[in-house]
Structure 1
Amino acid sequence: MALILVTGASSGLGRDTVNALVDEGHDVVVHVRNTARLTDADDTARWKGVVFGDLADMDEIRDVARQTSEFGRFDAVIHNAGVMHSPEAVTVNTVAPYVLTALMDKPSRLIYLSSSMHRTGSTDLRRLAAGTVSYDDSKLWVTTLALALASRWVGTVSHAVDPGWVPTRMGGAGAPDDLAAGHHTQVWLAGRHDAALATGGYWYHQQPQTPHPATQDEEFQARLIRALESRTGIPLG
């Protein structure tokens, strides 16, 4: 049994991930934006706890980190929360995972939700300061963060997962990929304890894939982390 945090878990892939992890017997802490995101149908008794906060707001991101500290050190954190459109995309998709990672105790396993669209993202980090970041950029950068941590943090396994283009509220009803398969990889990675699974993977449906070359470029990884430290005022450590 593992203690696992899932962000952005009020619906869609996040909620499917939570349900699957709970069914496997894990203690799951659920992050949602606010209390209005919970419904009477939510089986909160099955959860270890709930944390609240808008991941588009820096002060609330910090508060989410504070709330999670009350549960102790997590075995795994799944950074599932995401939005499609600017200007919130860079904060929710990249900055929030960075800040939570930097402020929380290092877990055993980190899993960041990527997208196949990361392959058309830009490596021009001046966009971060200018506020002209696209969804594709944000997913390239969070994938780079995941792979950077794999080599920087000994003792923490870090992966990026492409869940596919699935028919969620964000993906749209016409999305062609299998919704049921969309959460399986992150659940599989979060619950694994064996040392045979190497860190630093980019996964699609439990199969390793080749990400954008920049994500594995140590110089770009370092530039991204410096840019995020400058943007947030929070060192990675």
Structure 2
Amino acid sequence: MSRIFISGSSTGLGLMAARLLVEQHHTVVLHARNAYRAEDAKRALPQVEAVVVGDLETIAGAKDVAAQVNGLGHFDAVIHNAAVGYREGFRVTEDGLPHVFAINTLSPYILTSLIDRPKRLVYLSSGMHHHADASLDDILWSTRRWNGSDAYAESKLHDAMLAFAVARRWPDVFSNALEPGWVPTKMGGPGAPDDMSQAHLTQAWLAAGDNAKADVSGQYFYHLKRMAPHPQAKDTALQDRLIAICEDISGVALPV
């Protein structure tokens, strides 16, 4: 059985994936933004090993979460699930970064770089990434007029780019991305049309390592099936630029 850490897992798809993995007898550690959410998560799924508490909105917070995870010992898999959605207004963090970028793009980069390397990495993207542009020349929205939907979509493209960059750089790790579908979570909204019962299955399947078909890397999935991501996600030059930008902003290097 595997030991799995899931970021942003006090509610929603992260908690759903955790519940499935626990039912499959895997050991799971959750993550919550604050102590109140952590208590709610423990009540909802008392079988988990622990709940790490920390706000991924700040660079220091993401570093602290990574340190807490490492302090719990080695993990077989990490699911990068934490995110804010497509209806966000423009807000700047204490690091001077748009909070959608800080949480959705930068924090998974920091966690990837600092958490002791697992065997499996799973990144949640979105179907909205198919219509996005990486916008690396203005990744911090310094010159563009803010659009929450566009900011979310490009951050989910960044997550796929990160997954594939890691797959290329770390050949000993199975690193993949997926889209769960537009489902009626708090983030997706009550009118979302996709099948909620399918939304958490792929990330759990990729993280568990119970099926040889999940022993792949650099792939993109939707409901347990491979699909083609946005072409920019596979562009190695863009991947390397994104890694360099995240390293420069965070001061954290992706280990070789």
TM-score range (shorter-chain normalised) is: over 0.9
Which residue does 1:95 correspond to in 2?
106
Which residue does 1:162 correspond to in 2?
179
Structure 1 segments unaligned to the other structure (5+ residues): none
1:128 Cα offset (Å): 2.3
Aligned residue for 2:63, secondary structure, equals helix
Which residue does 2:125 correspond to in 1?
114
| 1:30–1:189 distance in 2 versus 1, CA, 3 Å | same
1:39 Cα offset (Å): 2.4
Which residue does 1:125 correspond to in 2?
136
1:118 Cα offset (Å): 0.8
Alpha-carbon distance between aligned partners in 2 of 1:145 and 1:154, rounded to the nearest angstrom = 14
CA deviation vs aligned residue, 1:103-128 (integer Å, no higher than 9, x gap): 11110000000001112222321222
Aligned AA for 1:121? A
Structure 2 segments unaligned to the other structure (5+ residues): 91-97, 145-149
- 2:2–2:209 Cα contact (<8 Å) kept: no
Aligned residue for 2:122, secondary structure, equals strand
Which residue does 1:81 correspond to in 2?
82
- 2:19–2:45 Cα contact (<8 Å) kept: no
Aligned residue for 2:22, secondary structure, equals helix
Alpha-carbon distance between aligned partners in 2 of 1:94 and 1:120, rounded to the nearest angstrom = 17
Q: 2:224 aligns with which of 177, 201, 206?
A: 206
Aligned AA for 1:73? H
Alpha-carbon distance between aligned partners in 2 of 1:218 and 1:58, rounded to the nearest angstrom = 25
Which residue does 2:193 correspond to in 1?
176
Q: TM-score of the superposition, structure 2-length normalised?
A: 0.88
1:88 Cα offset (Å): 1.8
1:192 Cα offset (Å): 1.5
| 1:62–1:176 distance in 2 versus 1, CA, 3 Å | same
Q: 1:149 aligns with which of 140, 146, 166?
A: 166
Alpha-carbon distance between aligned partners in 2 of 1:211 and 1:170, rounded to the nearest angstrom = 22
CA deviation vs aligned residue, 1:35-55 (integer Å, no higher than 9, x gap): 111328715541111100111
Aligned AA for 1:114? S
1:194 Cα offset (Å): 5.5
Alpha-carbon distance between aligned partners in 2 of 1:183 and 1:6, rounded to the nearest angstrom = 12
- 1:73–1:105 Cα contact (<8 Å) kept: yes
| 1:96–1:40 distance in 2 versus 1, CA, 3 Å | closer
Alpha-carbon distance between aligned partners in 2 of 1:130 and 1:2, rounded to the nearest angstrom = 39
Q: 1:185 aligns with which of 202, 227, 231?
A: 202
CA deviation vs aligned residue, 1:62-111 (integer Å, no higher than 9, x gap): 11011001121210000011101243211111100000000111100000
Alpha-carbon distance between aligned partners in 2 of 1:70 and 1:126, rounded to the nearest angstrom = 37
Aligned residue for 2:40, secondary structure, equals coil
Alpha-carbon distance between aligned partners in 2 of 1:112 and 1:162, rounded to the nearest angstrom = 9
Alpha-carbon distance between aligned partners in 1 of 2:253 and 2:40, rounded to the nearest angstrom = 37
- 1:129–1:231 Cα contact (<8 Å) kept: no
1:17 Cα offset (Å): 0.7
Alpha-carbon distance between aligned partners in 2 of 1:68 and 1:104, rounded to the nearest angstrom = 7
Q: TM-score of the superposition, structure 1-length normalised?
A: 0.95
Q: How does 1:10-29 map to 2 (within 5 A)?
A: 10-29=10-29
Pair 1:235 & 2:246 matched:
no
The root-mean-square deviation of aligned C-alpha atoms, in Å, is 1.7
